Amino acid sequence: MIVIGELINGTREPVRKAVLARDAAAIAELAVRQAEAGADYLDCNVGTVGAAEAEQMAWLVREVAGAVEVPVCIDTANPEAMRAGLDAYEGEGRPICNSITLERERLATFLPIIAQREVRVVALVMSDAGVPQGVQGRVDAATQLVAELADAGVAAEDVFVDPVVTPLSVDPEGARIAMDAIREITVALPGVHTVCGVSNVSYGLPQRTLLNQVFVCQAIAAGLDSAIVDPLDQRIMSSVYAAEALAGRDEWCAAYLRAFRRGAL
């Protein structure tokens, strides 16, 4: 499982304050803690819009990349902020650009930025009409996105398809449809990764971690191989290690045993 640590996000008040105050120590501490907990990438989202976002993103990416060897996942719908983040990145490994969609304007502005660089990409199955309602619509959107990215020089193994998990509180079928889409996308598009923001499924409901834990286990069984989660939440991470082992994706339970030995379960 490729774990993308979700905590450096300006929609969280401590992070927003740290970005506005240019509190490098606070950002570095959060980056280090997530990396030590097992994150493979660190999401970077300043949580703002407008002219300030590009400059803030550049600062945030520099601070995170300077604090850890884990690569970043630059999370923005603003093409100038994406460009600024990529220009600022001097870390280890290739960054992930989160995200591109089939929305006409977004596709036209993001593809040239991506085409100029060696990056990995989150491909969100959305168009100008919104999120496809059913499984096949998501598979069709994923297929089109992978083709568009291939034309821009992004290999299938560098694409992370996000089938869009809608909250159970507003869409009782959302989790099931997302899992069925993951299963079908994995078959239809060999080599691509699948990813989702796990906590989306529980929005608006009590005992959110319980729902998140069960969902990530079911999604892994369906083929999910990367997820945006809180790596400091041992309950979620324990579920990931256990589900990977049970799905036959952890040879001899090596990752599970390593996590046990370091007290992570």
Asked if residue 123 belongs to a domain, the reply is: yes
CB atoms within 10 A of CB 63: 22
| Torsion sign, CA atoms 123, 125, 126, 131 | negative
Same domain for 106 and 38, yes or no, is no
The answer to whether residue 197 is domain-embedded is: yes
Domain presence at residue 255: no
- Residues 230 and 17: their CA atoms lie apart, in Å, by 19
Residue 103 in domain: yes
**135 and 45 inside one domain:** no
- Rounded-to-integer distance, Cα 88 and Cα 85, Å: 5
Q: What is the pLDDT of residues 152-192, one digit of tens each?
A: 999 999 999 999 999 999 999 999 999 999 999 999 999 99
pLDDT above 90 as % of the chain: 95
Q: Is the pLDDT of residue 92 over 90?
A: no
> Number of structural domains, the chain?
2
* Residue 110 sits in the same domain as residue 61: no
Domain that holds residue 227: 94-232
Mean pLDDT to the nearest integer, 188-200: 97
Q: Is residue 243 part of a domain?
A: no
Whether 29 and 123 map to the same domain: the answer is: no
| Farthest-apart Cα atoms in the chain, separation | 50
- Are 118 and 179 part of one and the same domain? yes
Q: Is residue 246 part of a domain?
A: no
The two structure tokens encoding residue 102: 């089939």
Same structural domain, 154 and 212: yes
Q: Which of 72, 105, 127 is the last residue of a domain?
A: 72
Q: Of the candidates 237, 200, 222, which has an alpha carbon nearest to the alpha carbon of residue 40? A: 237
Assigned domain for 150 exists: yes
Statement to judge: residues 99 and 224 lie in one domain = yes
User: Which of 20, 41, 72 is at the close of a domain?
Assistant: 72
**DSSP assignments along the chain, one per residue:** -EEEE---BTTSHHHHHHHHHT-HHHHHHHHHHHHHTT-SEEEEB----STHHHHHHHHHHHHHHHH-SSPEEEE-S-HHHHHHHHHH---SS--EEEEE-S-HHHHHHHHHHHHTS--EEEEE--BTTBS-SSHHHHHHHHHHHHHHHHHTT--GGGEEEE--PPPTTT-TTHHHHHHHHHHHHHHHSTT-EE--BGGGGGTTSSSHHHHHHHHHHHHHHHT--EEEE-TT-HHHHHHHHHHHHHTT-SGGGHHHHHHHHTT--
The mean predicted confidence, pLDDT, of the chain is 96
Return phi, psi of residue 114, to 5°. Answer: -70, -40
Task: Please check whether residues 194 and 227 belong to one and the same domain.
Answer: yes
- The string of pLDDT tens digits covering residues 123-160 is 999 999 999 989 999 999 999 999 999 999 999 999 99
Indicate the pTM of the whole model.
0.96
Q: How far apart are CA 28 and CA 24, in angstroms?
A: 6
